[in-house]
Structure 1
Amino acid sequence: MTKLLTVDEVAEILRRTPGQIRWMRNQGTGPKSARIAGRVFFRQEDVDEYLERSFADGQSPTLSA
């Protein structure tokens, strides 16, 4: 079963504030997310993939084209 993370949990993992995670989501530059029953969730594997892309590119995926 897929583990779902909240905005606060993702913020802690990425060492960002919840506000920064919401901004990244709004801009389409953060990990994939979905609204479920009125709340925003991220799949653990999407957050992991986001981090892997960051290290593979040598920069934040938010800065890459």
Structure 2
Amino acid sequence: MQHGSETMFIEGEWAGTILAPNADLVLGQSNKIVYGRFAGKNVTVHQYAKVKIVPFNPTKLYEVVFLGGAR
């Protein structure tokens, strides 16, 4: 989450979610791939960059086990 208003540049490959409601977001350079969800005041995608949308779908990744029994 970007709370400021300065432009965010994602110049390499990226996987994740970026929320920047008050900032411009610039994605990728030539032949870069970015995965995830992106929201900004303005979003710019460079001409040869590839954006793969990955919907947020939380899953249970692990179970917590307490020593000495469940709590």
Give the TM-score normalised by the residue count of structure 2.
0.21
Give the greater-gyration-radius structure (CA): 2
More helix by share: 1
More strand by share: 2
Give the TM-score normalised by the residue count of structure 1.
0.22
